[in-house]
Amino acid sequence: MPRTVFLTGVAVTAALFAAGAWEHRWIADDGLIVLRTVRNLLAGNGPVFNVDERVETNTSAAWTYLVWFFSWLTQARLEYVVLGLTLTLSVTAVVVGMLGSARLWGGPAGRLLLPAGALVYIALPPARDYASSGLESGLVICWLAVLWYFMIRWAQAGAVRPAGYFGLVFLAGLAPLIRPEITLVGALALLVLVFAPVPETSLRPWVFRLLTVAVAGLVPIGYQIWRMGYYGLPYPNTAVSKDAGGAKWQQGFTYLGDFVGPYHLWLPLLILAVSAFVIVRPQRLSTPALRSPAMVVLVMLVSGVALTVYELRVGGDFMHGRMLLPQLFCLLLPVMVLPVRLSGNAAHGNRVRWLVPAGVVITAAWALWACGTCAVQTGTSVGASGIVDERIYYVLGTGHDHPIRAEDYLDYARMRPMLRHIGETPDGALLLNLPSQMVWHIVPPPLPVPEGGAGHTVFFLNLGMTSMNVPLDVRVVDQMGLAYPLAAHTDRLENGRIGHDKNLAPGWVVVDAEMVDRQPWIPLHIDERYVIRARAALSCPATQDLLASTRAPLTFTRFRHNIQQAFGFASYRTNRNPSYELQRCGLEDPIQPVAPR
């Protein structure tokens, strides 16, 4: 009976999560950004966003290549491939997490393993939103769940087989490719694995540990060397664009409150913590050994707390709940299911027998309530906090209940006019648009136009919907710098919207795209003097070296130079004001001030 109850609970939980995720199915604009890179990979252009610039616009390298592999394998439409992957990985994560928790609490007969923490996770609207968003959220929690399961299995095994051990080590070593900040989880797991007692093998302990480090680092170190040479950066360009090392504590706590507050998330977490304490306390556990289930639990709890602190420091995100889901998943893994005794002794039986079931019941009741709770954001506009319910925002913005295909986003403002303008300018053009404006400004190329046209460049914030609705030879760049190094390496706006706190003025793009830089061909709101100074500022040798790292032909010499300068390129910043940038670089102002009479 206990086994049947447990398996039924797993099946029902997985089915509920799958149904909820399907009801919330969509592909985010940021999810479409991933697909632009996959399109270029499939077309033979390499892992780039624009064919003429080597930029890593996707934070999760593993997600990019996973989507590419299944797209190549199935030859199915990219949006449907990524939708199927995200749904599958998300549901698998919950199932594997529950199996790992069952191994932790399993043991003597007379126990029922009931869903607990799993109900908390699947009840949250953001969890259901990002189970099908096209982003790497499903991959992240699936990796966490699989690592958790095999770590528990390793800790409980009587004899450790080298093949299984090194498989676990390899899995933990993949952390930097899953997401850069998830490296913390992999590093803690590897510390435990490396310094735990060595299994019985013919190898000496120091050789075995050295081999462990080599297996763990084989793929991530190899990819890191390639990344530095190919992209000229030690981490994805998104980390430069969003200044992932910066501190915005106040905004971080706002983001935490935006996630916890609407659902009173503290209540189920407190109940689950008390329930787990009641179960564990009678066992009087001593200090956990390195190879023990208690140490694995500690790794996950410390990881969850540390990742939360990191997210608070960087200011969270603009998408409601998204960047705190992995942290919550880490904290819930040990209590995905909880054991309920069918009988107890006189000393503590009643306490365990009634308190824990009561906790599970209250948690389930909370989950039912949370399932019907709307997020704090309505999605109709971006509030003062800068945080928005991203799925609802685009549902309302496109008029589609489930915006999944790229053409669904053509009903978003400005998209259809953009395509019309591209079709009407066969000689090429720069299409400029600002968030506060609803019209496109068309800047033509200078004469004579080269044979075949000068090409098109689109300057717009929403990279995903834009890039997936235009051919690969149309260059798409943004003022934030997610796909545009010139914008990514500007200074951060101190009080800008989180995740959008860089804003390169369009005058720079006029120069960089080599379009006509005089009025009336440029929009009236762009000062000609600004453009002239921007052109002079772009001649800064250090800036030219930075741009060459992504635009120059990838020779062996360039690859080596990129590796040598990768950390310098990552820290290099320019000033968005051309006048100040000229001063910073020690260049002469091309517009001499008029002397007063």
Confidence of residue 348 (pLDDT cuts 50, 70, 90): very low
Confidence of residue 282 (pLDDT cuts 50, 70, 90): low
Confidence of residue 435 (pLDDT cuts 50, 70, 90): low
Give the CA dihedral 9, 12, 15, 20, nearest 10 degrees: -100
Whether 190 has a pLDDT exceeding 90, the answer reads: yes
pLDDT at 197: 82
Query: Tokens 């704090």, residue?
Result: 376
> Residue 337 pairs with which residues in a beta bridge?
115
Q: Tell me the CA distances in angstroms from 298 to 41, 78, 288, one per residue in order.
A: 40, 39, 9
pLDDT in tens, 371-402: 776 544 456 667 777 888 899 999 999 999 99
Give the CA dihedral 382, 32, 571, 254, nearest 10 degrees: 30
Element (H, E) at 475: strand 475-477
Give the CA radius of gyration of the chain.
Answer: 27
Phi-psi sector, 477: left (phi>0), alpha (psi -120 to 50), beta: beta
Whether 341 has a pLDDT exceeding 80, the answer reads: no
Provide the total of helices (H) and of strands (E) in the chain, helices listed first: 26, 6
**Cα distance between residue 208 and residue 210, in whole Å:** 5
- For residues 275 and 113, the answer to whether their CB atoms sit within 8 Å is no
pLDDT in tens, 478-490: 999 999 999 999 9
> Which letter, b or e, does each residue of 163-186 get, where b requires 16 or more Cβ atoms within 10 Å of its Cβ?
eebbebbebbbbbbbbbbbbbbbb
Concatenated DSSP letters for 422-449?
Answer: HHH-TT-EEEE--TT--S-EEEPPPSSP
Confidence of residue 275 (pLDDT cuts 50, 70, 90): confident
Confidence of residue 552 (pLDDT cuts 50, 70, 90): very high
Q: Which residue from 228, 231, 191 is spatially nearest to 212, judged by alpha carbons?
A: 191
Instruction: Return mean pLDDT, the chain.
Output: 89
**Cα distance between residue 523 and residue 527, in whole Å:** 9
pLDDT at 567: 95
Range with the lowest mean pLDDT among 151-160, 354-363, 413-422?
354-363
Q: Supply 83's token pair.
A: 């939708």
- For residues 479 and 470, the answer to whether their CB atoms sit within 8 Å is no
| Identity at 594, one-letter amino acid code | V
**Cα distance between residue 382 and residue 399, in whole Å:** 18
Please give the DSSP secondary-structure letter assigned to residue 574.
B
Whether 350 has a pLDDT exceeding 60, the answer reads: no
pLDDT in tens, 446-482: 999 988 889 999 999 999 999 999 999 999 999 999 9
pLDDT at 346: 43
pLDDT at 375: 47
* The Cα angle at residue 394 between residues 389 and 396, in degrees rounded to 5: 95
Please give the DSSP secondary-structure letter assigned to residue 490.
B
Pairing mode, strands 429-432 and 475-477 = unpaired
CA 245 to chain centre: 15
Range with the lowest mean pLDDT among 39-53, 74-88, 377-391, 569-583?
377-391
Please give the DSSP secondary-structure letter assigned to residue 319.
B
Range with the lowest mean pLDDT among 152-156, 297-301, 435-439?
435-439
**Cα distance between residue 61 and residue 63, in whole Å:** 5
Handedness of CA 466, 468, 469, 472 (dihedral sign): positive
**Cα distance between residue 316 and residue 241, in whole Å:** 15
Give the CA dihedral 73, 79, 83, 89, nearest 10 degrees: 40
Q: Supply 95's token pair.
A: 């199932």
Range with the lowest mean pLDDT among 25-39, 197-211, 232-246?
197-211
**Cα distance between residue 317 and residue 311, in whole Å:** 8
* The Cα angle at residue 289 between residues 287 and 293, in degrees rounded to 5: 100
pLDDT at 371: 76
**Cα distance between residue 395 and residue 380, in whole Å:** 10
Mean pLDDT of 301-321: 92
Cis peptide, bond prior to residue 293, ω within 30 of zero: no
Residues 6+ apart with CB under 8 A from 311: 252, 255, 256, 317, 323, 324, 327
Whether 284 has a pLDDT exceeding 70, the answer reads: no
Higher pLDDT, 589 or 282: 589
Choose the most confident range, by mean pLDDT, from 7-11, 33-37, 249-253, 350-354: 33-37
pLDDT in tens, 65-116: 999 999 999 999 999 999 999 999 999 999 999 999 999 988 555 678 889 9
pLDDT at 126: 93
pLDDT at 353: 61
pLDDT at 110: 60
